[in-house]
Structure formats: structure tokens, C-alpha cells
Amino acid sequence: MTTGTKEAGTEPAVVPEDVEQDGGPGRGERFSALAQQHGALVTLVVAMVAASLSFDTFLTGDNLENMALSSAFLAVVALGMTFVIVTGGIDLSVGSLFALGGVLAAWGSQYGTVVALLLPLAVCGLIGVVNGLLIARSGLAPFIVTLAAMLGARGILLAVTDEGSRTYLVDKDSFFATLGQGSLLGIGVPIWITVVLFVLGAVVLRRTRFGQYVYAVGGNEDAAALMGAPVARTKIAVYALSGLCAGLAGALNAAWLVSGVTILGTGMELEAISAVVIGGTLLSGGFGFVSGALVGVLLLKVIQNVINQIGSLDSAYQQVVSGAFLAVVVVAQTWLGRRRRVL
Amino acid sequence: MLSVTGVSKLFPGVKALSGVDFTARAGEVHALVGENGAGKSTLIKVLTGVYQPDAGEIVHDGTPVRFTTPLQAQQAGISTIYQEVNLVPLMSVARNLLLGREPRNRLGLIDFRRMNRQAQEALHGLGIRVDVSRPLRELGVGAQQMVALARAVAIDARVVIMDEPTSSLEPREVRTLFDVIGMLRERGIAVVYVSHRMDELYEICDAVTVLRDGRVVHTGRLADLERLRLVSLMLGREIGEVRSEGLTKFSGSHRAAAEPVLQAEGLTIRHQLRDVSLTIRPGEVVGLGGLLGSGRSETAKAIAGALPTDAGRVSVGGVPVRAGSTPAAIRAGISLLPEDRKAEGISPGLSVRENIALAALPRLSRFGLVDNARVDRIVDTFVKRLRIKSAGPHQKVGELSGGNQQKVLLARWLALHPKVLLLDEPTRGIDVGAKAEVQALIDELADDGLAVLLISSDTEELIEGSDRIVVLKDGAVVDELTGDAVTEDALMRAIATEPSTSSTSSTSSTPSASPQSAESVGSTHD
Amino acid sequence: MTSLTLTRGQVDRERLLRLLQEYGVYAGVVVLLVFNFVFTSNFVSTENFRTQAVQVAPVLVVALGMALAIGTEGVDLAVGSVMALSTSLLSLYLGYGPWTATLMAVAGGIAVGLANGSLIAFLGVQPIVATLALMVAARGLALVLLPQLEDVRDPGMASLGSGDVLGVPYLVLIAAALALLVAFVVRRTTFGRQLLAIGDSRPAARLAGLPVRRVLVVVYACSGALAAIAGVLATARLTASDPTSLGTLMELSAITAVVVGGTPLSGGRIRIGGTVAGAVLIQLLTTTLIKHDLPPSWTQMAQAVVIVAAVYAARERGKR
């Protein structure tokens, strides 16, 4: 999962001659760049080592499997969010879309697996496109558009569930249910799907022209436009992608729970944003990597797990910790960014 | 290669270009010069498809063309290198260089190894060696500009337009840039070079076109044009021309006190100012002369605490003023009328009344409550005294004419009873009548004992308005004109002086200073 | 700049949009009122008006703080969580009497606001990002302090929630007083004028020597304090502290009230009257839909449409 960082710095640096004046990056600069890219990973490893030393129950197969499963759905949402944040945007509608996707999938599962998957993807993708159109073509602020979409999607969800009173169930023996409940080589299917999606996501972001445009739009929108990048189309695409990811995560979650639970997803947008940012992606856009989102999600889930293990502590500490984490990371990013800004 | 004939461009109320002919030839470096508002940037924008001309035609490679977007112009082979580098700082050099044209493998994925190699080769071709896998922002500004240039060349640019490319470069970087320009010339690329630095123009340009007030006033080989002649063409003043008195509203000299009220010593900002010192006495109008980009506005801003300085002291009446703090400067009695009235001066959405009272609010309040009666009195006084024309004190300032906006700003500062007034282009973009009124007011204020610093691209205004002129060039004081020496001839001569043996490059090599200073400069640009 | 080349139709459209943005909210309130008078049974009753007003009070108080933040071209997403934090603190300190408890709740709100303001003013973090971080943290803190719903049995709080003066509920009186206070601050104090100047043009405000950072910090502290007061009011009305759900989506309601009320997201202008009307409008819209047996899902979708439309209208005007 280190696809993201391979390209930078592997080749032997050619000694800059001629036009190098500012002395290039100092040691401190290199360090801060490293901290930004791998800080979360180091923290994750430290947290896991500490947790397994402190609690016998941490490093057990069951516990790890549980953590991985509960990470999977959030991770898929965070994957889409990564693309949005790299363009310098934000998508607050993912929590609602996650819940909507789950309900639509559960409802659709009575008509077969294809419907159960395509329906949530179509609806959530469409909402994402609408978000993108309003943001890219009409120039409205992403946070307000997606905040409205969050409300609107919640409304649609209530409308299709008789105001939240109906819960659609998934037939436990259907193929769709195995997408959530089955396992392959002893590892749950959702985990496999998540891994595949992340590999795909990493390839798309790092190795395709579209991915380059995503970085360019987030790094300097005006310059990207002057260099011929299709700015509006790129933006629409990332919001559509985020919608698709949220819808798919919801569908998988429904398959796992074998029902379309209506009350899920509140606050999920914050968890996803926190995970992406903690993983090293800049909230101001232009810099980030898919693997960071995965590390961020795992870190959040490990913290949650540890807090649960302690038992005496309430799960609310999870939010305090991730909020504080988010604040610290954001401050560090702003600070590093300001130090490194060269005109 | 690329030529325009009879191009005109109208903006509401202004004719930015009228009947301009301009030709960039292959293998030629063509200087495009002119003072502020001469129409240079409008012409560049017409050439690159940002604006569409109202009249005239553009001929590229022998065929008439019409660009509706910058992208079209770019695809036709016309590239522009802007003052601020227009690339993506967080992406690697190679990715910037090849954005949208990345080499891909059979699966349609980007082949980074080939991409880096291609980028490396493209830069080597220009004699630049950098690690192309590093983020662009880690390079110096000069290197970044080279990457922009390499990108332009790589997309088969036939015409490269450079808008003040050297304004933030180190002398050594300038050398590399010039080498690259030489290389472009040999490859038969047409280069349009916009700069205010006389020495550079004479060093690398073959031809020159001088614009003034939206018209071409001269075009031809640069070598055939004397420096002094070039300056006089740009400023629109003839050498030795008999000065007609009374065109401006200035009365002449003022009686100034003996002791200076403002003392600025050794103001230095990396890339922008070098050791600028000046003093102003109460009742005196000191002009800051020099071409655009010579550091006039930066000097004013540094004195007013609006730009952080790397070195230097400012004191008012002998009391030192804390550097880099506008509130401190204002408390000390320094007021700045900024050059960019729309962006930095007025608060367009607020009313005339609020704009006038803005800076003086703390003085017009008691216990944090605004004393409306006092505000009304002050507003009333200044609206009358400066003859501000508006639909009423509650009209939004953004809706007023330029002249009235400027008067509102003046009122804002006068309400503070400043000791030193820094006026940066006080009459630019305002109509003739208002201009005369503002000029008369400046006179009046000096007579009242205010110390005034006047910056103006209007030479006539500068000469007639000032008692003394400090001439800046490339961020340093090169001359000071006093008494009878305050004439246009002397001013133009001072500006056009050939660099002495200890030329620009050696003096400006002082800032191999700490990198921190560069960053502090950088941050103020945001 | 292009105003000279606008065609007549464009000018008319422009003016219409402008009028809509300025007075649309009042028209909307009137239309909904008339509609309900005519078509809704049981609408015209003291009891109903009282319910409506009591429900709108906390939203309005939050919206007042939001208006200040938006006036500086910022936003405060942490308000909902601050309400939750406030209710937790209130519950926790109720043993020391309602006044002390309220004081602690408001202090908590101010602390969150100061944190927001410092991040924004001194570290240059974007307002959305800074307040988002505090939104997560404050909600968590609220839940740490008070893990689950707790009934509030304090007689003082109970009378605050249900008492009235001459038939006007305390809650409404307090909200109205705060609206007047904020309107006064915006119009008449140095702070208010400076706040608007900063929102209108930050470079100009800086060059005019205004204390930009201090004003920003105070703005977010005010927003925090008002959200905390709203938390106290809501707790009194519900006679329970529920840090899990109190204030969720409140930031959206508050932003909607402010924006629908004609305060542009681009800053420099604050319309308190419009904000009050905006809060009332949303409340009326919800009531209308509910009273006509339209489900809550409709309310949410309607609110989503209203907010996008309001922002869209503001955009047209801002682009001139």
C-alpha cells in the first residue's frame, strides 16, 4: 500500500547545479515531509504494539478480524473522500449517502444481487454528480452544497422507509448476503473488496491522467486550467466518485448486517474526513495519498478498540481523541505548509 | 510569426488599446515596454486569448486566428510565462512539466520512469539540472520559472511571452534565464519580453515596441534607440521640452520646517528593496521617482508597516516605530493611501460613512460604542471639504467613481490627523476634474504642515508636486533631486543612467541572506 | 465592471434576484402565515404560536452567533457540538444551582470558541476546517462528561423552560433580547463595525490598521457563547440533558437561517432581522408540512432545496 510514495525520492537525486539558489530543502524540511507522509503509519504501529503489550485480548484473531471488518466500510467511504479532499473540496454528505445506500441495497436485494448493488450506486452516484455540478459549474461552496445534500439524502432515506419505520431485510442465503458475511481464505469478503478498491484507488490517483488532474486542480486551480486540465469535469468526477464509494460502502454494510438499518451514518463524514487528514492528506488540497486514508481509518479503529478494552472508559473518548487528533494534525499541516511555502 | 494589426480593446470608460500593430518575429527577442496603464498587459491578454479584441486582427503563422480561451492560444503554440509561476507547487517537477501529456504504458497507466527521463531531458536541453522527482516548490523561484519555460518549449511553443520574468530572481538565476532565452532565439522561437529593467532589455532584446496610453509610440531595433530616448518615450515627455506651467494644480514649493518628521533608514526587503533611506520634513512633499517595479510602492508599504522588512528603521519625530505593524505605524501618525485602491484601499461593500470612519473608529467611540454624532460630524466635514460626490453617506463606496473613492480614502486618513501621509498613485484612474482637486488638496495639506510622500507614474505630477525627488532604481536609491534640479530632464537622466561598474548584480548579491527572510517575503504575497 | 454592457433583461433579472435576497425571507414568512391561516386547522391558537416560538428560540440564538462568523467571511460548524457540551456541563454543575451551572456551560462554549478563533486568527487555519475539528472534539467531550441522557429536575430550569411573562415564554424573551443585543453590537459598536470591515475586505481592513486577529477571536468566542446559551435554553425546554442528540444538524439550520435571511456567505454584511425571519421561516415550513400530514422526510428535502436556492441567489449578486 505504499504505491503513493514510491515515486518521490527513490531516484538518486541529481546534484542541482545552476539555478539552485535557495539551498533546496533543509534537513528539517525533509523531516517534516516524512512526518507528514508516514507519521500516521508510525503512530499506528506504536499504538498496535502498545495495545498488544497491554491487553492480551488485543492481538487475537477474532479481535483483529472485528477491527478489520468495522474498518472496511469506513475505509471505502474515506477512499472517495480522499479524492475530494485532494481537489481541495470536502464532502459532508457521505454519512447520509452511506445510510441511503444501505437501505436501497436491502430493498433491492429482493430483486437480486445486481439490483442490490446497482441501485445504491446509481442513486448515490447521481447525488454526487449533482453536488459536483453545483460546486464546479455554479461555483457554490462545497461545504454548503454537500451539507444540503446530507439533509436531502437523509430525506430520501426517510421517504423510502416510511419515515424510518421500515427496515428492509436481506435474505441470509442470497448471494448478496455473502458479500457481507462470507469469507475467503478465512478473511471476510468486505475486507477483500476494500483491499481491491484501495489498490484500484491508488492506481487511479497515482498512475492515471485523471489522478494527475485531481492533484493539479487541488494544488493550483488557476494554473491547472491554464495548463489545460479539465477542471470542472475533474471536480464533478470526484464528487461522483465519493458518492459511489459511500453508496457501495452502505450496500456492503447492509449485506453484512443483512438489513438496511436506517439510523446509520450520522457523524460518519467526520470520521472519514478525520481519517483522511490524519493519514497525511492536506485539507487545503493538492497533496495526499490513498494509503494514508487506510492508515487513518485503522488508527481510529485501533484507538476505539483500545478504549473499549479499557472498559471503564466510555466510547465517547474516541471522539475526543479523534477531534484532538484532527486539530493537532490540522495545526501541524498549516504550520508545516506555511514554513515550506516558497513563492 | 505572430502579429496583430489595428487591435483595439475597450473597457467601460477606458480605451485600453487603440489601433495597435505589433509583430513578434521568429528568432527575435522583442521587448514590450511602457508605464502602468500603457496597455501592455491588455495586449498580452489579447495575444493569449484572455481577452478578445474589439477591432483588428491577429495573424499567427500567416493565418488569421481568433482565440477565445488561453488554452486555444496555448494549443496554437503561444505560451506565456507569468510573473508568478503558474504551476502546481505541490506536484513534482516532472509531473508539472508533462501534465496532460504523461507517457503511458500499454495499460494506459503513467510510466513514471519514462516521464522522469523525458522531463530530465527537456530540462537538460535548456541547460538545467534538477531532480525532477522533487516537488516543484522545493526549487527556487528561478528554477520554477525554468520549468514553466521548459513546459512552454515542450508543448512546441512557437511564441513565448514573458511577463516580467526576472522580478523575483537572483542575479545568478537571471543569467541562466538569459542563456535559455538565447537558446530559444537560436531555435527560431519568437520571444516577447516584458520588463522594466533597462539594463536587461539592452542586454538580450533585439527589437522594442513602446506603448503609451494604449498606442504604439515607437517600434524598431533596440540597439538604435538611446536609453534616454527610450525613457522619454515611455514617460511621454520630450527631453528639454519646455514645461508649460499650470497644467497641474500644484502651486509650487512649500515652506518646510527644518527638522524631518519622518526618518526611514536602510529599508531592505529581499528581492525588492536595498538599503533605502529617506527623510521628510513637515510641510514638505517628497516625490519617489523611478519606473514601475523600481520599489516605490514597496518603500511606501515598508514605511507604513504593511510589508515586513529584513532590515531598516522608521521613526516619526525621533520616536522609533515598530516595524511590520500597520496599527503601530498608524498610531505613530503614518497613513498610507495604497496603490491598489480597489483591493487594498476601500471596503467596497461598506458605505461612504463607514469607510471614512473605519480607521478612526477607536477614537470616535466611547466604551466600545460608536459615537454616531461625532462620526456624522467628521463625515460631514470631509464630504464637504473634499467635495465627495455620492448619493448620500449611506451609498456603498464600491458604487462611486474612482475619484470619489480616492477622496473617501483620503478622508479616512485625514480623520486620523496623521503627521506623515504616503500617497501611492493618488490620481491614477480618476477623471481630470477629480485629479485637479486631489492635487490641490495635496498642496493644501503640505501647507498645513503635513509631511507628504508622493508616488506617481505621471511625471508631470511628480515634478510639479514635489519639493524634492528621491529616485529609485531596481530597489535602491540612485539619485536625489533637490531645488532647481527637480526637472523632468534630470529625472529621466537619473532613471536612464547606465549601470556603473559595481552593477546591479554585485550590489544585489548581498541577500545570500538567511532563507527565512525569503519566506517572510513570500508569505506577504498571499 | 461589465455593468455597462448588461442588457435590459439582465438588469431586471439582477434586480429581481437582489430584491429576492433582501426581502424574500419576509415575503416567505408572510406567505406561509397566510397559507396556514387559511388552510391549516388548529393553526390560529395561542397554544400553537407558543409552541412554534419556543421551538424556534434555540435555533435563533445559535443563528445569531453564526451570523457574526459568516459576517467575517467565516463559518462555525462547531455550534451543534457546543450545545451538547453546554448541556453536559449544565447537568454536571446543576448541584451548585442553576446560575453556576449556566455560567459553567457558557464558559465551556466560550472556551471552544476561543480555540476556534485562535486556530483561525493566529494559525491561519480555514474556518471550516478549524471548526470541524472542534465539532468532533466538543461532541466527544460532551459525551465523556455525561455519557447518557439525564433528566433535569431543577425547578429553576423547569421554570425557565416553561414559564412566561404575560403569556410570552421566557425562552422567547431571552432569544429576542439576544437578537436585539447582537443587532446593537453589529450596528453601534466599534467591534461590530470592524467585524464587517474585516468581512468586506480583509486587505483593506489590515491596511487600515484594524485589530483583525483580535476581532476574529472575539467573533468565534461570541458564537461559542451564544451556542452554549442555546444549549441551556434547549435543555430547559426538554427538561433533559441529551448530549448524544442535542444540536445535531444545528449548524445546518443556523446557516440556513442566516443565509436565507439575506446575509451573504462572502461576508461584510449581517442582517439580524433577516436571520430572525429566516429561523421563523424554517420553523413555519416544517410546521406547515407536518400539519398537512407530509412526512418529516419532506421537511428535510425542502430545507435542502431552500438552502441551495438561497446560496445560489446570493451567488448571482456577489458576482456583479
Q: How far is C159 from chain A (nearest CA, A)?
A: 31
Check CB contact under 8 Å for B99 and A227. Answer: yes
Tell me: pLDDT of C67 over 90.
yes
Question: How many angstroms separate the Cα of C133 from the Cα of each of A166, A283, A324, B98?
Answer: 34, 12, 7, 37
Question: How far apart are alpha carbons A76 and A78 in whole angstroms?
Answer: 5
Contacts of C308 in chain A (CB under 8 A): 134, 140, 144-145, 148
Q: How far is A10 from chain C (nearest CA, A)?
A: 32
Q: Are C69 and C223 in contact (CB under 8 A)?
A: yes
> Residue ranges of the domains in chain B?
2-225, 262-333+418-524, 347-417
Check CB contact under 8 Å for B343 and C188. Answer: no
Check CB contact under 8 Å for C315 and A138. Answer: yes
Interface subset of A 215-234, CB within 8 angstroms of B: 215-216, 218-220, 222-229
Inform me whether the C-beta atom of residue A281 falls under 8 Å from chain C C-beta atoms: no
Interface subset of B 344-383, CB within 8 angstroms of C: 344-350, 354, 357-359, 361-362, 365, 368-370, 372
Check CB contact under 8 Å for C210 and B358. Answer: yes
- Pairs of CB atoms within 8 A across A/C: 137
Tens place of pLDDT per residue across chain B (526 aa): 788 888 888 776 567 788 888 888 888 899 988 876 677 878 888 888 878 888 888 888 888 888 887 778 877 888 888 766 678 888 888 888 888 778 888 887 888 888 888 888 888 877 777 888 888 877 777 778 888 888 887 777 888 888 877 776 777 778 888 888 888 888 888 999 988 777 788 888 999 998 888 888 888 888 888 887 888 887 776 655 444 444 455 655 566 667 888 888 888 888 788 889 888 988 888 988 887 778 888 899 999 888 888 888 888 888 888 888 888 888 888 989 888 887 888 888 888 888 898 888 888 888 888 888 888 888 988 888 888 888 888 888 888 877 888 889 889 988 888 889 999 888 877 776 777 788 888 888 888 888 899 988 777 788 888 888 898 888 888 888 887 777 877 888 888 776 554 334 333 333 333 333 333 333 333 3
Check CB contact under 8 Å for B74 and A25. Answer: no
User: From B373, which residue of chain C is nearest by alpha-carbon distance?
Assistant: C188
Check CB contact under 8 Å for B304 and C201. Answer: no
- Determine the residue among A103, A320, A339 to mutate to test chain C binding: the one whose Cβ has the most chain C Cβ atoms within 10 Å: A320
Instruction: Walk along chain A (343 residues) in steps of 10 and give the mean pLDDT of each run.
Output: 37 35 48 68 81 77 81 92 92 90 86 86 93 87 87 86 77 77 79 89 88 88 80 92 93 84 78 85 83 87 78 66 75 66 35
DSSP, collapsed to helix, strand or coil, labels residue A189 as helix
Q: Taking the C-alpha atoms of B470, B472, B477 and B479 in order, what is their torsion angle to the nearest 10 degrees?
A: -50
Question: How far apart are alpha carbons B400 and B349 in whole angstroms?
Answer: 11
Question: How far apart are alpha carbons A206 and A164 in whole angstroms?
Answer: 41
> Residue ranges of the domains in chain C?
48-248
**Are B2-225 and B262-333+418-524 the same fold in CATH?**
yes
Question: How far apart are alpha carbons A211 and B153 in whole angstroms?
Answer: 24
User: From B174, which residue of chain A is nearest by alpha-carbon distance?
Assistant: A19
Check CB contact under 8 Å for B131 and A220. Answer: no
Q: How far is C261 from chain B (nearest CA, A)?
A: 18
Inform me whether the C-beta atom of residue C203 falls under 8 Å from chain B C-beta atoms: yes
Question: How far apart are alpha carbons B108 and B127 in whole angstroms?
Answer: 31
Q: What's the farthest any 2 CA atoms get from each other in chain A?
A: 71
Residue at B132: amino acid letter = V
Inform me whether the C-beta atom of residue B339 falls under 8 Å from chain C C-beta atoms: no
User: From C212, which residue of chain B is nearest by alpha-carbon distance?
Assistant: B327
Q: pTM of this prediction?
A: 0.79
Check CB contact under 8 Å for A339 and B131. Answer: no
pLDDT at B518: 37
Long-range contacts of C96-101 (CB under 8 A, 24+ apart): C97/C156, C98/C154, C98/C156, C98/C157, C98/C160, C101/C154
Check CB contact under 8 Å for B129 and A340. Answer: no
Tell me: pLDDT of C60 over 90.
yes
Phi, psi of B306, rounded to the nearest 5 degrees: -90, -10
Check CB contact under 8 Å for C209 and B327. Answer: yes
- Pairs of CB atoms within 8 A across B/C: 81
Check CB contact under 8 Å for A22 and B151. Answer: no
What is the predicted ipTM?
0.78
Neighbour-count burial for B231-242, b at 16+ CB within 10 Å, e otherwise: bbbbbbbeeeee
Q: CB-CB: which of B90, B108, B134 is closest to A219?
A: B90
Half-sphere exposure at residue B348, Cβ-oriented, CA atoms within 13 angstroms: 16
pLDDT at B101: 79
Q: Specify the CATH number for B262-333+418-524; select among 3.40.50.300, 3.40.50.1370, 3.30.420.40, 1.10.10.10.
A: 3.40.50.300
Check CB contact under 8 Å for C208 and B412. Answer: yes
Check CB contact under 8 Å for B521 and A343. Answer: yes
- The bridge status of strand B273-280 relative to strand B262-269 is antiparallel
Inform me whether the C-beta atom of residue B16 falls under 8 Å from chain C C-beta atoms: no
Tell me which CATH code domain B2-225 carries: 3.40.50.300
Inform me whether the C-beta atom of residue A27 falls under 8 Å from chain B C-beta atoms: no
